[in-house]
Chains A and B, each alone.
Chain A
Amino acid sequence: MNQARHSGVWILAEQSAGHVEPVSFELLARGTALAERRGAELTAVILAGRLSDRELGELIARGADRVIAVESPQLEHFLLEPYAACLGELIARDRPEILIAAATTTGRTLMPYVAVKAGAGLTADCTELDIEPGTGNLLQTRPAIGGNILATIKTPRRRPQMATVRPHSTRPAPYRACPYRAGPYQAGSDRTGPHRSDGTGRIERFSPAVSMLAGGVRRVGFVPIDEQRTIEDAEAVVVVGRGISKPGNLPLARSLAKALGAAIGATREVVDRGWLSYSHQVGLSGKTISPRLYVGVGVSGSVQHLAGMQTAETIVAINNDPDAQIFKVADFGIVADLFEVVPALTEALGRRRTGGQQNAG
């Protein structure tokens, strides 16, 4: 493969119901750092039913030099085959050097399919990305073996170099208003300049051919879950462990979650007992989460659970067992009866909030 023919850093942005998903802005932060190191243009690709210039402009305001919006009513919701065909077509035309996506249900499904079709290497669920001095290769670092070790992986001979990035593993790129012009898609690897070279962004709209939209899967319905916030999206998660004793005690944790603006997660024991549904489960056989704040309530911290949460930014553990494993990865620990600590913490948070409002007033 002639690697010199590949240039440019791409991120795969995601949308839902006509709005760009915030995880896209985390990718722009990653992409900006890589594009600067490579002296390359940063492109955000997004597939959607239809997105306004204003929505797409936010991708430019947060770092993209160029946005490619692939739009068709059939692309409103993620479906593997049409998404893969459209993304594959753009890769073939533009030959990016690097393509990163979020390790969401969409990214973790689409990227391996596209990587096979493109003959490209792919690394899952990275927490660090860097450029190797000299070779310019993408260095992709990810937790492995339940998070006990980190592995750095590269793709020396294939392009694009592809990676999915763990959500919340970096802060979103800041918003800085930037002018842009909008027009049709133009295959563009031959006119790729360095990042932010001319101070304006471009929005290019691409209408896929009918053949790219074919596929064997049809979306016939959607049932939203009743939780307001899901554990994968939430900046804060309160996780309930077996220490909660019975489902009747869950409101205690819910009050704390409300005070923190947090989603509710659960350990495997709690899900296996049927106290909360599987969509709440954190750990090796559930979700891997990386929120800014994790609060474990009566969580002992099995190896399997720790694997699913230890990259959280700040970890708080409340458990009456001083030897609980969770304290080994925690920043703050309170060793006491959770039935006393949780209400006290909820109240302290509530007091802070009303106090803060008085100060602000």
Chain B
Amino acid sequence: MRIAVPIKQVPETADVKMDERTGTMMRDSVEAIVNPLDLYAIAAAIRIRESLPAGECELVAVSMGPPSAARALREAIAMGIDSAVLVSDKAFAGSDTWATSYVLAAAIRKLGPCEMIICGERATDGDTGQVGPGIAAWLDLPAVTYVGRIESVHDGLCRVRRLVADGHELLDMSLPGLLTVVKEVASPRLPTLGGKLRAKQVEIPHWSAGDLAVRPDRLGLDGSPTRVVKIFRPTVTRRCHKVAPTDQDAIDAAAGSLADALADRGLL
């Protein structure tokens, strides 16, 4: 079986610069890493491969991004992913989640039959969590989100635990299907020595819009339904009322006035 793992390269810190005109991120200015939440998807996929007889399961990472995103794919290979494809074209620039999931779905279709697609829950930069379910919709696949554990994968069925607000749902999904996973699902893999060697040598195919069965009017900024019209700094309305009591009496007094202040705000 083949498992596709869509991953995203994201800025390392939360402090990235924005292009004030287009409202899109300026990705060149900071160090780029594999989206931390995608590491759980990579680890979950590797764990499934390890549970199957050798050679029965192939893991393919797919990323849409600038040519430099190939580095994120090499990192995924160093961690144990078998092969990778970079989907990159100027025509994709400015894509929102609708257009991004469209292109990733087209790329996954081109890989050939995939029994599973495993995504991170969301990317730490865009923070939407919309691309995973979006890919499932484009491919007409069943999907389970917020998966905290993959119990089993066999006979065209996978049993998972889905983490919801008040507990775990136990769900059976027929394959092919898509999962988005959360941190509990598996521990991230460290790059191995062999993996690093392979990551250096392996060739990463580069697919552009012309290589995919996509409609030009669904790509990039122009093909995206949503538009960023304004970005702005939140106005800081909080002024911290800070006290530093030094003895027990002062601490009791500070605790008492805090309780009063919370009551005044109707919070108790």
Residues of A participating in the B interface, judged by any CB pair closer than 8 Å: 16, 77, 80-81, 84, 104-105, 108-117, 119-125, 139, 143-158, 215-225, 230, 232-233, 236, 260, 277-279, 281, 284-286, 288, 292-293, 303-304, 307, 313-317, 322, 327-336, 340-341, 344-345, 347-349, 351-353
Contact = CB atoms under 8 A, between A and B. Distances in A.
Given A80-B133, A149-B18, A328-B240, A109 B145 contact: yes
Contact of B256 (A156, A336, A348): A348
A289 B240 CA distance: 20
A159 to B, nearest CB: 10
Nearest to B128: A124
B241 A331 contact: yes
27 contacts: A16-B166, A108-B133, A109-B133, A114-B137, A116-B138, A121-B225, A123-B226, A124-B129, A124-B130, A149-B232, A153-B226, A215-B142, A216-B142, A217-B144, A217-B174, A224-B167, A278-B163, A285-B124, A313-B267, A316-B262, A322-B242, A332-B261, A334-B242, A334-B251, A344-B248, A344-B252, A344-B254
A163 B179 CA distance: 22
User: Which DSSP category, helix, strand, loop or mixed, fits chain B's interface?
Assistant: mixed
A154 B141 contact: no
Interface in B163-178: 163-174, 177
Given A81-B142, A222-B167, A348-B255, A112 B240 contact: no
Contacts of A353: 268
Given A150-B234, A152-B228, 18 more contacts: A108-B145, A112-B101, A113-B134, A115-B134, A124-B130, A148-B15, A149-B234, A155-B226, A217-B143, A220-B171, A222-B170, A223-B167, A233-B166, A278-B183, A315-B238, A316-B262, A336-B254, A352-B263
B134 A293 contact: no
Contacts of B129: 108, 112, 124
Interface residues of B, number: 89
B255 A157 contact: no
Nearest to B162: A105
Contacts of B36: 284-285
A344 B255 CA distance: 6
Residue among B127, B131, B134 with the most chain A CB within 10 A? Answer: B127
Contacts of B23: 151
Residue among B14, B138, B183 with the most chain A CB within 10 A? Answer: B14
Contact of B240 (A148, A219, A304, A330): A330
Interface of B: 13-16, 18, 23, 25, 36-37, 96-98, 101-102, 124-134, 136-138, 141-146, 148, 159, 161-174, 177, 182-184, 224-234, 238-246, 248, 251-252, 254-256, 258-263, 265, 267-268
